[in-house]
Structures are given as C-alpha cells and as structure tokens.
C-alpha cells in the first residue's frame, strides 16, 4: 500500500459507557472493526497502538462520525433491551481463515436470546472435531457483542470462557434472557 492510500484509510474510535463497563468502539470506512471490553486508559492505549499497527494508520477519536454514531446508538439500544439484532456494516479485516468462518456463522446463525455449544458451532462450519478451535476463534473475536461470542457455551451446560470475563458474559446472557438476573 502506498502512503497516499494509507492517508485515505480512516480509523475512528470512541469509548462509550455500558452496563458491562466502558467499551472502545473502532470503525473504518468499511464498518465497525473492533469492540474492546474494559476500555480503561491503559487498555485503550494498547488497543489504539495495535489498531495503528494492524491497519496502517493512527486511529482518531471521533464519536460523532457516521461510522461510529450509528454503532453507539445501537449499543445504547441493545443495553436498554430495545435492540435484539445489530444492523451495522462490519469490517472483518482483523480476522481471517477458520476464525472468520466461525464468527460469520455465529453472527448470522445464533440469534438474540439463544446459545450454541462450541461443538455444535464447529459442526455448523463443517469441522465437527474442532470444538477447541471454535473456542480459540471466540477468544480472538474482534467484534464481541455484535458478533455474539457470549452466546457460545459448553455442551454440558457450563458457561465456558469469555475474553471479557465471566461476569460480563453472565450479564450479557441475563440481558438476553438466557440466564436469570443476579439477585444482588
């Protein structure tokens, strides 16, 4: 890519509050490219450095841009319990291969309020023995919440792991009615 093409690539970001803590949202002209949990200042700085390295341009804080304004609105609606299906353009450039295949199936095939097992998701993408690889794909998901890796659980009924922490996964599943709300 020449330097002129790099100048044209715009990566914008914002930190938004949510019921699960601050989230960093980043977008390109293609769409939402990254959602990061627990977006404290150190997490934000590491994420922005990684995005700059991976995407070849320095991200710019710009919550009012069209790329982010709609994403922020939809996240607010989701956490208010009003939105069940995100309708955002997504930039899949941070993920490829098997992981991208699994995450695309998850995004299109596991609706709000439902869960799927790691093994079942592996079967859906034609790799029935790849439950552990599905777990790796969930851990590398650059678009959590929108690509709902919180909806992937263990076949024995266990909640499984989660990059945002198990309490965050429980809160998301409770919001979607899969788990009961905590009593206190």
Active site residues: 149
- Computed on alpha carbons and rounded to an integer, the radius of gyration of the chain in Å comes to 16
DSSP code of residue 74: H
Termini Cα distance of the chain? 53
- Under 8 Å CB-to-CB from 109, ≥6 apart: which residues? 116, 124
DSSP code of residue 182: P
């Amino acid at each position: 890519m020449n330097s002129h093409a790099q100048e044209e690539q715009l990566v914008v970001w914002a930190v938004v509050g949510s019921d699960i803590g601050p989230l960093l949202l980043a977008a390109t002209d293609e769409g939402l490219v990254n959602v990061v949990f627990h977006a404290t200042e150190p997490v934000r700085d590491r994420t922005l450095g990684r995005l700059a390295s991976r995407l070849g341009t320095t991200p710019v804080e710009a919550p009012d841009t069209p790329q982010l304004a709609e994403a922020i609105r939809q996240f607010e609606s989701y956490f208010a319990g009003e939105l069940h299906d995100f309708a955002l353009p997504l930039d899949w450039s941070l993920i490829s291969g098997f992981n991208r295949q699994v995450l695309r199936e998850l995004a299109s095939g596991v609706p709000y309020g439902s869960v799927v097992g790691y093994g079942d998701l592996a079967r859906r993408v034609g790799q029935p023995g790849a439950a552990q690889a599905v777990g790796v794909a969930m851990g590398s998901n650059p678009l959590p919440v929108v690509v709902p890796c919180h909806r992937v659980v263990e076949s024995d009924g266990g909640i499984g792991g989660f990059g945002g922490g198990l309490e965050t996964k429980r809160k998301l599943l409770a919001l979607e009615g899969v788990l009961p709300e905590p009593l206190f």
